[in-house]
Amino acid sequence: MPDAHADPPLVLCTLAELQATGCREFQLGGGDWPLRGFVVRAGSEVRAYVNRCPHQLFRMNILPDDLLTADRRYIHCEMHDALFEKDSGRCIAGPCLGRSLWALPIEVDAERVLLARGTHVPALIARFT
């Protein structure tokens, strides 16, 4: 029987929303400094990363949900023109070559991408803001 005191799963996006753009942004927390992240499809898998370039820790995009190259093969940082592999988050070109994006724990059910159950959201937000 489910724990009546457990928090409900936190939905980051639906698979349908992700399909439309290949990438979907989300934020955790409020105020001036929420944790900004994004979900991306990597082949048949789905990954989530913090929306912060490891080069200078800036947000990587200007337009909403615009984090992929035109051909959707790579994650692209518009600020530094860095490229990252979608499945690993590893930088393959640009000023942060060899470094990686920070992965976030997720689960996928039939229709939704969820923050992994048991993730302590306040600690996650504090770590990246």
Q: Give the model confidence (pLDDT) of 19-42 as tens digits.
A: 877 899 999 988 777 899 999 998
| pLDDT given for residue 80 in this prediction | 87
Q: Is residue 29 part of a domain?
A: yes
For the chain, how many structural domains are there in total? 1
State the pLDDT confidence band at 7, using cuts at 50, 70 and 90: low
Q: Stretch 113-119: mean pLDDT, rounded?
A: 93
Whole-number mean pLDDT of the chain? 90
Could you tell me which residues come within 8 angstroms of residue 40 by beta carbon, excluding any fewer than 6 positions away?
18, 22, 23, 24, 46, 47, 48, 49, 67, 68, 75, 86
Could you tell me which residues come within 8 angstroms of residue 38 by beta carbon, excluding any fewer than 6 positions away?
23, 24, 25, 26, 48, 49, 51, 65, 67
Structural domain of 28: 11-128
| pLDDT given for residue 5 in this prediction | 47
* pTM, entire model: 0.90
**CA 102/CA 2 separation, integer angstroms:** 31
Q: Is residue 35 part of a domain?
A: yes
**CA 22/CA 65 separation, integer angstroms:** 9
